[in-house]
Homo-oligomer: A and B are copies of this chain.
Amino acid sequence: MIIVGEKINGTLKNVATAIQARDTAFIQNLARRQVAAGAQMLDVNAGTLPESEPEDMRWLVTTVQSVFAVPLWIDSTNPAALRAGLEAHQGKPVINSVTGEKKKLETILPLAREFGCGIVGLAMDDEGVPHSAQKRLAVVETIVNAAARLGVSLQEIYIDPLVLAISTNTEEGLIFLETLRGVKQHFPEVKTTVGLSNVSFGLPQRSLLNRTLLVLALGAGLDAALINPLDPEMIATIRAVELLLNRDEYCMEYLRAHRQGKLSTN
């Protein structure tokens, strides 16, 4: 699976402080630790006010990529901040995210074409997040068709079926998994991803629920996930599931993680 590190996010207080203070060492250290833990891509979200967000995003992208050649997910709802991040990025970035909302499709998809980059598509539209897999798949179809019309390669689209808080509705896990299976079936060239942490909102032992949902999702064909790679139990679980799904030849990664003390979390 593709691990996308979620920690460089300005909605977290210490990251916001580091962005404001232009604390290069803090941000680079957060990047380094996530890559060392196994992240192949990093999400960067400035999370700041619209006026300063483009400049903050530009600084974040440059600060991370000046020491790590890791591809970034440029995470914003603000087209100006997305453009600033995309301009600063070396290599091929991913835009996080577009939705089926008419205005988003019109403003954000052209950026994907202009910069020749990947894009995350969330299964929601102007009506919000649909309550059934069938309706979410209809939104996915809208996004995929609109992106394809603009010449975005299907292999560079990451669809997030979305998972909402299971404390509010215990059907949310099944709706998510059914949508995920539907995307894999109807759009086999498209990649899938998920931001896990919503599922456990309002419940205790959130990491347990998040990593268990990740196993279910990988079993249903998930390709990538936005996770906290600094959570040792999450990484141990990923090593186990990758081995069980025959993606770890000769058990090499599993045994390496064991030697590094990364499987035992007690």
A interface list, Cβ under 8 A from B = 166-167, 170-171, 173-174, 177, 199, 203-205, 208-209, 212-213, 215-216, 218-220, 236-237, 240-241, 243-246, 248-251, 254-255, 258, 263-266
Cross-chain contact of A249 among B170, B215, B248 (Cβ < 8 A): B170
Whether A246 and B170, one on each chain, are in contact in the complex, defined by CB atoms closer than 8 angstroms, is yes
Q: A208 and B248 in contact (CB under 8 A), knowing A220-B219, A266-B265?
A: no
Cross-chain contact of A246 among B167, B171, B218, B246 (Cβ < 8 A): B171
Whether A205 and B258, one on each chain, are in contact in the complex, defined by CB atoms closer than 8 angstroms, is yes
- Other than A204-B263, A216-B244, A265-B266, give 11 A-B pairs with Cβ distance below 8 A: A166-B243, A167-B251, A170-B250, A173-B243, A173-B246, A204-B258, A208-B236, A208-B237, A212-B244, A216-B216, A216-B241
For this chain, the copies found in one complex come to 2
A209 to B216, CA, bound (A): 14
* Chain A to chain B contacts (Cβ below 8 Å), 6 pairs: A166-B244, A173-B245, A208-B240, A213-B244, A216-B241, A265-B266
Whether A205 and B236, one on each chain, are in contact in the complex, defined by CB atoms closer than 8 angstroms, is yes
Cross-chain contact of A208 among B177, B220, B263 (Cβ < 8 A): B263
Residues of B within 8 A of A244 (CB): 166, 173, 199, 209, 212-213, 216
| Leading 8 A-B pairs by shortest Cβ distance | A173-B244, A212-B240, A215-B215, A205-B263, A216-B219, A219-B219, A204-B258, A170-B246
Residues of B within 8 A of A264 (CB): 205
Residue of A171, A219, A240, A255 with most partner-chain B CB within 10 A: A240
A220 to B244, CA, bound (A): 14
CB proximity of A248 to chain B, nearest CB, Å: 7
Residues of B within 8 A of A218 (CB): 216
Residue of B nearest to A244 (CB): B173
CB proximity of A82 to chain B, nearest CB, Å: 33
CB proximity of A233 to chain B, nearest CB, Å: 8
Cross-chain contact of A177 among B219, B236, B266 (Cβ < 8 A): B219
Residues of B within 8 A of A258 (CB): 204-205
